[in-house]
Amino acid sequence: MKPAHDETAEKTRAILQKVRQIEIRTNRLVNDTLAGEYHSAFKGQGMNFDEVREYHTGDEVRNIDWNVTARIGKPFVKKFVEERETTILLMIDVSASGFYGSGEQTKRDLAAEVGSMFAYSAIRNKDKVGLVLFSDRVEHFLPPQKGNNHVLRVIRDILFFEPKHKRTSIAAALDYANQVLHRKAIILLISDFCLNDPSDAAMGRLMTKLDLTHHKHDLVVFSIGDPIERSMLPSGLLMVEDIETGEQILLDARSPSTLERYRELAIRENEQRRSLFRKRGIDLIELETGRPYIKDIIRFFKNRERRRRRI
């Protein structure tokens, strides 16, 4: 039997090795692929007044400073500069359902990798990054900061923080974010949306919180799924357990009709979620374990940049 200090040392080495692996992978992705895309998509969140200058043909009439114009006797316009510093808040669901994965990668592994990638993108762009880990309550909060050491802390906490609760409340996490963020930020919400209460009333409350957060901040949602959640493979009698509630259901996975109903329910739930976010103008990016996600992220960046240019 190994002494306790040897086991602790081995566990520490394993943690550091996994942090290092994801650091190398996500840093390479940012440097090789995403740095420019991130900057274009997440430019400063506002414009600050800089100075006034004389009006030139083609300037926006709405930018005319009428007080200066009246005083000097010829038109002057206000000049603005982009507010460069941005705050990124990663909100990651660490409820029990995230520990599921039908392949080598769990949903929480994927959430950690995506969150780490955005953390590195933010730091490279000289932005602040903060972290909220939540279950049915906020389990852990790291205030937004800059710097490589802070990013390593973010990655470590995403990967290895052990939540005390199993269930999910996205609404509670959004309430917390709105309380701690005093200036407009970019909120990246990463969840598998395995909700304990899927009733219309509960969904209505959640969408109200999402609307409020989207109005105050720039909300982007990542839905993390697993292939078996949308299409169950034919097998035998299965005892399916809800990881978060412990509820068990016996399914006959030999039956084509059962498999088809399962698939149709998954499709309907996904379509309802897409429709809810689309109506509210909230970006929704759907990712799946075991599937490359970089093209999905780049497509989101490019769509977002195109929208910014049209505004």
Q: Identify the pLDDT of residue 162.
A: 92
Cβ atoms of residues 157 and 190 within 8 Å: no
Q: Residue 282: left (phi > 0), alpha (psi -120 to 50), or beta?
A: beta
Contacts of range 240-246, beta carbons closer than 8 Å, 24 or more positions apart: 242/97, 243/96, 243/97, 243/99, 243/100, 243/166, 244/95, 244/96, 244/97, 244/166, 244/167, 244/168, 244/194, 244/196, 245/166, 245/167, 245/196
d(CA 256, CA 259): 5
All domains of the chain in start order, with CATH: 32-37+85-310 (3.40.50.410), 46-83 (no CATH)
* E-state strands within the chain: 46-54, 76-83, 87-93, 128-134, 138-145, 186-191, 218-225, 237-241, 248-252, 283-288
d(CA 20, CA 285): 27
Q: Identify the pLDDT of residue 125.
A: 86
Cβ atoms of residues 35 and 118 within 8 Å: no
- How many Cα neighbours within 13 Å face the side chain of 297? 23
Q: Identify the pLDDT of residue 48.
A: 47
Q: Identify the pLDDT of residue 285.
A: 95
Question: What tokens appear for 290 in the block?
Answer: 């075991």
For residue 145, with 0-12 CB atoms within 10 Å meaning exposed, 13-18 middle and 19 or more buried, which class applies? middle
CA nearest neighbour of 148 among 269, 30, 41, 259: 30
Question: What tokens appear for 252 in the block?
Answer: 């006959």
Q: Identify the pLDDT of residue 78.
A: 76
Question: 3-state class of 179 per DSSP?
Answer: helix
Look at the pTM and tell me if it is higher than 0.85.
Answer: no
pLDDT in tens, the chain (311 residues): 556 566 667 766 776 777 778 778 787 778 777 877 887 787 655 544 456 788 887 777 777 888 888 888 888 887 755 555 789 999 999 999 988 888 889 999 999 999 999 998 998 888 999 999 999 999 999 999 999 899 889 988 988 899 999 999 999 999 999 999 988 899 999 999 887 776 777 888 888 999 999 999 999 999 999 888 776 655 666 656 666 677 777 666 666 776 777 678 778 888 888 888 888 889 999 999 999 998 899 888 888 877 766 65
Q: Identify the pLDDT of residue 124.
A: 86
Question: What tokens appear for 153 in the block?
Answer: 């802390």
Q: Which residues pair with 262 in a beta bridge?
A: none
Question: 3-state class of 99 per DSSP?
Answer: helix
Maximal C-alpha separation, the chain: 89
Q: Identify the pLDDT of residue 94.
A: 95
Q: Identify the pLDDT of residue 65.
A: 84
